[in-house]
A and B are shown apart, each in its own frame.
Chain A
Amino acid sequence: MAEEIKPDKVVDARGSFCPGPLMEMIKAYKQAKIGDVISVYSTDSGTKKDATAWINKSGNQLIGVFDRNGYYEIEMKKVK
């Protein structure tokens, strides 16, 4: 995993339940430009798996999953 990068867009989905954070991430992805870095904050445990699987399957780049205090941050780069 690469170093964390300052994101172009932050999706704060803390407190939102499955499938909320994933859907918000996809929405942000669709609005983003190629090369943009998107960060998703989530407290939902399923999202960690769902979102990372989506990033890999869609051919984008997973920068990392970072544990924060009480939530986690998934960082991705839009490459296609």
Chain B
Amino acid sequence: MVDKASIVLASGTVDKLMAGSIIVSGAVANEMEVNVFVTFWALMEMRKNAGENTKLGVEGKGMEKQLFSIMKEKKVPSWKDTLKQAMEVGDVHVYGCAMFADLMGIGKDDLDPMIEEVIGVSQFVDMAKDSKMTLFI
């Protein structure tokens, strides 16, 4: 049986989302099946109308302008593009969190097509319980 990785994306800042999507790629390179559960601020960033994300976590406060200009200059792909590429190459499934979607009135149609389905926590835990790697980011 193929090894599984389960990743919760909860933070909506670029540093965390980039780390998450790069780790998804690493899991794909290790031939793992990856299930990603997107909730809270990460789900807000998965809305089609989210706009450009230029937020960093607390440690990056004040660094936004510098970091984003370096990233632009070096043509670093966005976290969404990195995640999309991982989905093209490997067995990656991305799910939205039903609880937070309901809370904020977000429907599946409001979300990026990368989100395969909006599911409940129990369904995600069922996928995650026999994983080799589980991360909350």
Contact = CB atoms under 8 A, between A and B. Distances in A.
A26 B91 CA distance: 13
Nearest to A15: B75
A18 B28 CA distance: 13
Q: Do most interface residues of chain B lie in helix, strand or loop, or is the interface mixed?
A: helix
> Which label, helix, strand, loop or mixed, suits the secondary structure of the A interface?
helix
B29 A18 contact: no
A20 B77 contact: yes
B76 interface: yes
A57 B30 CA distance: 9
Interface in B1-46: 22, 25-26, 28-31
Contact of A26 (B75, B76, B82, B89): B89
Nearest to B22: A19
Contacts of A17: 74, 76-77
Nearest to A27: B89
13 contacts: A15-B75, A17-B74, A20-B77, A20-B82, A20-B85, A23-B28, A23-B85, A23-B86, A23-B89, A26-B89, A26-B90, A30-B89, A57-B30
